[in-house]
Amino acid sequence: MSILGVESVVFGVSDLAEHTRFWTDFGLPVESVSEAEAVFHLASGSRLILLRHGDARLPSPDPYAGDGIKETVWGVDTAENLDRIADSLASEVAVTRDADGTVHAVCPDGQPIALRVWDKRAVVAEASPVNTPGSFPRFNQHRIWRARAIPKTINHVVFFSPDYVGSFEFYERHLGFRYTDHSKGTGVFARADGTFEHHSIFWVNCDLPIAPDHFKFMHIAFGCDDIDEVMLGANIMEAKGWKNTTMNTSGGISRHRISSAIYYYCEIPGHSGEAEYHADTDYLDDNWIPRAWDFRFGSLLWSNNAPPIFRGDDIPWDMTFDQDRGSFEPYRKSVPGKQPVSGKLAEITEADEHAI
């Protein structure tokens, strides 16, 4: 065990007040708010930090234009492992350290990352047993009644990458991340070795016609107890005026087949990406066998307004075990720069922009 998950995410934003209101309405517990920053503190000990563009604490140069996560901070279990990871990173990229020991680096794809020792908290969570017509473990009792969604963990972050296979392999090489699944031509899912969630990070292919041609933030997912909490969060955000306009959010509550997770996306202010309520995902360890999926087959279930590329009766039942990583080869890059896209991937249009 080494990396325990996302210790913090640091956002650069234009309108601090608007972003603060969004995350407060979303259900993140407020730690502090000032003219310079807003900090939210989850039950796991993870933090979401909002800083204005130009703040000296943000990475420089800015990794991309606009609002979004500018630095992902990974929590490490011990000082010895932090030193080991820092030495490994320094063999390939420039590394700096703060006075408190925090390590900073920029990945080859342009992603700024940081690492620090983290005393991750155990999360106390509760979900009601599920009754069915043939099995009713919740006998003579009603379900838990919730007043609002209160996310407890940061389950994963998602970024666009100009070399998504190479981005995963860098994380594997230096940070010890585990390969979970491959949405062929779309992205790689990977898990930090000290977590059990299906993935801690997902890199989306910049070669998709709907993607930017450079590193950029896409979305962040927060762990909730059950589908009730996801539904409640979705309804509250709608009632508070956060209208969802991206393709991710317009489909309503749905599931990802590739990870089994119930999800609902909310568009973050500034059109900077999405915040995801996330529940009932697959949990796994090193006995897991990675799989390769047709990107349409693995993505969406139930969505009532999925983009055309994800609809229809011709989506193949396409999932194979991929422990030898043979599925990577058509998408592996030997030199920087974009590669041509062909076949089904070329059918994706701008209307599908946030549905991956």
pLDDT of residue 255: 86
Per-residue pLDDT of the chain (356 residues; tens, 9 = 90+): 699 999 999 999 999 999 999 999 999 999 999 999 999 999 999 999 999 999 999 999 999 999 999 999 999 999 999 999 999 999 999 999 999 999 999 999 999 999 999 999 999 888 899 999 999 999 999 999 999 999 999 999 999 999 999 999 999 999 999 999 999 999 999 999 999 999 999 999 999 887 899 999 999 999 999 999 999 999 999 999 997 766 554 467 888 889 999 999 999 999 899 999 999 999 999 999 999 998 877 776 656 666 665 555 567 788 999 999 999 999 998 644 434 333 344 444 444 444 44
CA–CA gap between residue 72 and residue 95 (Å, rounded): 15
For residue 150, the one-letter residue type is I
CA–CA gap between residue 64 and residue 110 (Å, rounded): 9
pLDDT of residue 307: 60
pLDDT of residue 315: 73
Taking Cα atoms as reference points, which of 202, 198, 200 lies closest to residue 188?
A: 202
- What is the enclosing helix (H) or strand (E) of 275? strand 274-279
Cis peptide before 316 (omega within 30 of 0): no
pLDDT of residue 71: 98
pLDDT of residue 337: 41
Domains of the chain: 3-122+151-352 (3.10.180.10)
Question: Where do the H-state alpha helices sit in the chain?
Answer: 16-26, 79-90, 164-175, 227-239, 247-250, 295-299
* pTM, entire model: 0.90
pLDDT of residue 317: 81
pLDDT of residue 342: 38
CA–CA gap between residue 194 and residue 191 (Å, rounded): 8
pLDDT of residue 328: 97
